[in-house]
Amino acid sequence: MNDESDWYGPESATFGDRLAGAREAAGMTQSQLARRLGVKKATIVAWENDLSEPRANRLSMMAGMINVSIMWLLTGEGDGMDAPVEVVENAPELVEVVTELRAIRGEMRASAERAAKLEKRVRLMLERNQ
């Protein structure tokens, strides 16, 4: 998780992070990608901000346009991109901050999963008491 090469990995980045990184690496703006996909720029913004996700057909088209696999976009695993080397080399102090952010994100994900399990238990207990 703290490995620089895992910059876009499943524990380090979201779908939106990977989409934004791959789009930028492909040299496209949000507007250009939106136009090529036949969607509004606001749709791309929502995807990159993890407010929504594309349907399968758009996901497939997009993966081809930005030269990454669908699996990499969704999970961070498979054919995708490496860490942005120029950022790491030009600003090594960012590595420490990114590492801490990744740790916090992992802790938050674990807490969210724990909360969801507790919520499910409460819901089941309420259903049994009705």
Is 1:11 a contact under the CB 8 Å cutoff? Answer: yes
What does the pLDDT look like over 39-90, one tens digit per residue?
A: 999 999 999 988 999 999 999 999 999 999 999 888 888 776 666 555 556 6
For residues 70 and 26, membership in a common domain is answered with yes
What DSSP string runs through 59-122? HHHHHHHTT--HHHHHHS-SS-----HHHHHH-THHHHHHHHHHHHHHHHHHHHHHHHHHHHHH
Question: Nearest 5°: phi and psi at 27?
Answer: 75, 30
Residues 110 and 78 reside in one and the same domain: no
78 and 35, same domain (yes or no):
yes
Q: What is the CATH number of the domain that holds 26?
A: 1.10.260.40
38 shares its domain with 13: yes
- 76 and 53 in a single domain? The answer is yes
Same domain, 97 and 59: no
Give the span between the Cα atoms of 66 and 54, in whole angstroms: 15
Specify whether 58 is located in the same domain as 1.
yes
Shared domain check, 70 and 121: no
- Domain interval for residue 100: 91-130
Q: How confident is the model at residue 101 (pLDDT cuts 50, 70, 90)?
A: confident
Give me the number of domains the chain comprises: 2
Q: What is the pLDDT of residues 1-52, one digit of tens each?
A: 334 446 666 666 788 888 998 998 889 999 999 999 999 999 999 999 889 9
> CA 124: distance to chain centroid?
32
Question: Same structural domain for residues 54 and 1?
Answer: yes
Q: CB neighbours of 18 closer than 8 A, spacing ≥ 6?
A: 8, 68, 72, 73, 76, 80, 81
